[in-house]
Amino acid sequence: MIRPNWNLFKAKFSENPQDNFEWFCYILFCKEFQQEKGIFRFKNQSGMETNPVKVGDDYISWEAKFYTTEDKLSSNKEELKRKIDITQSKNPEVTKLYFYTPVDWTESSNKAKRKTEDQKEVEEYAKNKNIEIVWKGA
């Protein structure tokens, strides 16, 4: 596996790194879930990037956020929660939501815990709406 350099990605796709990151994630999502013909989506679709796909008993959707390496996921937790709300309101059948980001969560400074309170808060927020979060980070 090749490790991406997100600063080079930003430079190469400087006209709109977010759109290009979304396209990159779309390809990854389609490949992971065997969607060879693609997935229907609307331009500027709210809450998620495409319509959900049915896999077994799950309806899976995804969102791509090109946060820079200076960004922390914890500083964007309210935006992540809004995406969960919109996903549920537009497609209440969604049971899993994949978040693609070029950054990862940091590990908790509490030695007894792995996840930070912010990560647990976002995941619990989704769980209360019957949605499991899957993080696809750097």
The rounded percent of the chain whose pLDDT value lies above 90 is 45
Domains and CATH numbers, the chain: 24-34+43-136 (3.40.1350)
Backbone angles phi, psi at 96, to 5 degrees: -135, 140
Who has greater pLDDT, 43 or 127?
127
Local structure of residue 73 (DSSP, 8 states): G
pLDDT digits (tens, 9 = 90+) for 63-104: 998 887 677 888 888 999 999 999 999 999 999 999 999 888
Quickly count: other Cβ atoms within 10 Å of residue 78's Cβ: 9
Say if residue 106's pLDDT is above 90. Answer: no
Whether pLDDT at 31 is above 80: yes
